[in-house]
Structure 1
Amino acid sequence: MSAPLAVVAVLVAAALFGTTGTAQALGPDQSTPLGVGAARLVLGGLGLLAILPLVGGRRAEAIRLWRTPAGATAGVCTALFQVFFFAAVHQTGVAVGTLTAIGSGPVLAGLLARFVLGERPGRSWLIATGLCLLGLTLLVAGGGDAQRVDVLGVALALLAGLAYAGYTVLAKRQLTDGHEPSTVIAAAFGLGGLLLVPLLLTQPLAWLTEPRGVGIAFHLGLVTTTLAYLFFIRGLAVLPAGPTATLMLAEPVVATTLGIVVLHERLPLISAAGVGLLLGGLLLQGLGTATGKRGPTTEARGLPTQPAVNTHPELEKACLCTSPTSPR
């Protein structure tokens, strides 16, 4: 896959992820944030494992990854992301919950990638991420009462962002070690789904007997998880972790738009300016990524080369550009 197509794949994944908060908000009254998050990961993980042979992966290898430190921790991160993210959205609203969780991802992923993978962020990544985070700050600052910003909700969202960043870096490490992208993603989400089965069984499940509840569960599981992460992993197999996490900030833009159009959440002028900065940062990152000079083959083998496909000329790194990251 070329760098421009990889950028498109990540943006498609981000757009699908952006529908999760609104889907939860439209769920039946009996549903709970933990129940919705658990159902999403259980269905999504099963879906990924079911289609794994059709997309070039192997179930036996995926299960073997569960017994490795990186594979097991990645699975735990996917489970924790669901729990923290849906609880944050319930606590503080779709817009702020999604923005905080996903907005913190690039910074946290960049820091983890620096210390775990040795990636050095380039200037364009820093500028693009800075624009996005400034836009995120304005978007949240303009929220007011309508977006119900509170300390607990923001804290839960930040924990979700940390889990997302952790999964991204660990998945990339597994790709660097030579594992097939689809196998890596199916292993993490399959294990995460298994870990959340006990939690799912403790939640009210009557909403899953209603047509609307079933539709939302399958949308969250098969569309925003199975399908979205197939796009995501293909893009991440080409792009480095930091820029990919920045591109994923398209998710809160979609989530905010849906919150306004579908849920009638208000967006003050200062928040609208924040959306503009977010889009500007995404455009800068997308252009910088798509015009990179290096293809993924050498990097995917873990050999030191020049900056990766979508990376920047100043981004020097070795064996770091096969990835499959976010949580979501």
Structure 2
Amino acid sequence: MNIGKKYIGIISILMASVLWGTTGVAAQFAPEVSALAIGSGAMGIGGLLQSVIALPCLKNYQGKLYSQKGWIILGALAVMFYPLAFYGSMRVASITVGTVVSIGSAPFFSAVLENIMDHFKVTLQWVIGAFMGVSGIILLCFSAQHTLYSPISFARISLGILLGLLAGFTYAFYTWVARHLIHHEIPSKAAMGSIFGVGGLLLLPVLLITGGTYLNSWSNLSVGIYMATIPMFIGYLCFGYGLSFVPTSMATLITLLEPVIATFLAVIIVGEKFSGFGWLGIGLIFLCLVCISIPNNKK
């Protein structure tokens, strides 16, 4: 792989991770809007916007897209379920726990998918990076559970973790599908536009049923507009572009930066407390990012 293109991909995915890290805190400014409405509004509208700007590309590659229609439908279903599980996890457990479990579990699901579907063998470098990254998110999660202003029950933490694992799997799956389409000579814009466009259509009924609260105040509506256009639309444009240059397993490891951003914002803006374990966790996550960014000349 061309080293320059690899770093372009890494930077693009890092930019996406920073934008995604703002979603949990943004959702807190619309507390009366349910997790289902937040998730369906953000990913549904953001996905449809992706398909709109990709229309010329979608037309040019409609033949190849049709040949991959089965994977596109499966990817779209993952796009549909991901935000509902992700925002549900954050509302049930906390911003930090929901983000950490959802994003932290994705690299393992990605590695399993690549191993099964692509016969991808993880490198020692990936294993070391994954160990540091996951150790870091466990410490972040431990810190959040024990230092919140309002204690969270074991039942809520457990439900939040289960929803987070579902989010991690669906995130890894639609990321793999997008990468799969790109490997079949479909540009990232068309790949992401097709998956997210169909996923956005699937989320529209959920938005119509649950999204009435967006109209209750300008604050609620502003949160909805921000979530759909900045983290979801622009963020996934960056992510899709990055996927053109890095494998799925590396991309999901890079997005471990998202829980770090989410935790900092939760502490500074929302008031979630933070302990020394959290700082150690953040340090390990950054070491993970450095580790997987080092050029590996082995094929």
Q: How does 1:5-20 map to 2 (within 5 A)?
A: 5-20=8-23
Secondary structure, in 3 states, of the residue corresponding to 1:159? Answer: helix
Task: Identify if the C-alpha distance between structure 1 residues 94 and 62 changes in structure 2 by more than 3 Å, giving closer, same or farther.
Answer: farther
CA distance in 2: counterparts of 1:158 and 1:103, whole angstroms: 9
Aligned length: 289
Matched with 1:256 is: 263
> Residues of 2 paired with 1:14 and 1:95: CA distance?
15
Paired residue type of 1:165 = A
Deviation at 1:204, TM superposition (A): 4.6
Structure 2 partner of 1:42:
44
**2:33 match:** 31
**Aligned twin of 2:126:** 125
Superposed CA deviations along residues 237-291 of structure 1, whole A, max 9, x for unmatched, are 01111111110101111111111111111111112211111111112222x2xx3
Equivalent residue for 1:321?
none
> What is the match of residue 58 of structure 1?
58
- Compute the displacement of 1:208 (Å): 3.0
- Measure how far apart 1:145 and its partner are: 5.5
Whether the aligned pair in 1 keeps the contact of 2:147 and 2:274 (CA below 8 Å) is: no
Q: Matched residues in 1 for 2:66 and 2:36: separation?
A: 26
Please name the residue that 1:266 is paired with.
Answer: 273
In structure 1, distance between residues paired with 2:67 and 2:79: 13
Structure 2 residue ranges without an equivalent (≥5):
none
- Taking a change above 3 Å as real, the CA distance of residues 187 and 254 of structure 1, as seen in their structure-2 partners, is same
Task: Name the counterpart of 2:98.
Answer: 97
Return the letter of the residue paired with 1:85: F
Counterpart secondary structure, 2:74: helix
Distance in 2 of aligned mates of 1:88 and 1:163: 14
| Matching of residue 196 in structure 1 with residue 203 in structure 2 | yes
Contact 1:62 1:187 in 2 (8 A): no
Q: Larger relative CO (CA 8 A, sep 6+): 1 or 2?
A: 2
Structure 1: which 4+ aligned runs deviate by more than 6 Å? Answer: none
* Residue in structure 2 matched with residue 309 of structure 1 by the alignment: none
Q: Give the CA deviation at 1:137.
A: 1.1
Aligned with 1:238: secondary structure?
A: coil
Q: 1:62 to 1:131 in 2, by over 3 A?
A: farther
- What is the percentage of aligned positions where both structures have the same residue? 24
**Match of 2:288?**
281
The equivalences for 1:147-162 within 5 A come to 148=152, 150-162=157-169
The alpha-carbon deviation at position 65 of structure 1 amounts to: 4.6
Partner Cα distance (1:232, 1:239) in 2: 10
Deviation at 1:62, TM superposition (A): 6.2
What is the CA–CA distance in structure 1 between the aligned matches of 2:220 and 2:91, rounded to whole Å?
Answer: 17
Contact 1:65-1:187 within 8 A present in 2 as well: no
Pairing 1:168–2:171 present: no
TM-score normalised over the length of structure 2: 0.91
Distance change (3 Å), C-alpha of 1:241 and 1:204: closer
Q: Report SS of the residue matched to 2:233.
A: helix
Alpha-carbon spacing, 1:265–1:194, altered in 2? closer, same or farther (3 Å): same
Structure 1 match to 2:297: 313
User: Greater CA deviation, 235-244 or 60-69?
Assistant: 60-69
How far the C-alpha of 1:154 sits from its partner, in A, is 0.4
Aligned AA for 1:20?
T
Secondary structure class of the residue paired with 2:113: helix
SS of equivalent residue, structure 2 residue 283: helix
In 1: Cα distance, 2:7 partner to 2:47 partner: 28
Unaligned runs of 5+ in 1: 292-311, 317-328
Question: Amino acid of the residue matched to residue 183 of structure 1?
Answer: A
CA drift of 1:57 comes to 2.1
Change (3 A) 1:6 1:26: same
Deviation at 1:66, TM superposition (A): 9.5
**SS of the residue aligned with 2:210?**
coil
1:95-129 alpha-carbon deviations (Å, 9 max, x no partner): 11000000001111011111111211111111111
Tell me by how many angstroms 1:158 deviates. Answer: 0.4
Q: What secondary structure does 1:9 align onto?
A: helix
The residue aligned with 1:21 is 24
* 8 Å CA contact retained: 2:29, 2:220: no
Q: Secondary structure at the match of 1:262?
A: helix
Q: CA 1:165 to 1:198, structure 2 compared with 1: closer, same or farther past 3 Å?
A: same
> Contact conserved, 2:13 with 2:242, CA < 8 A, in 1?
yes
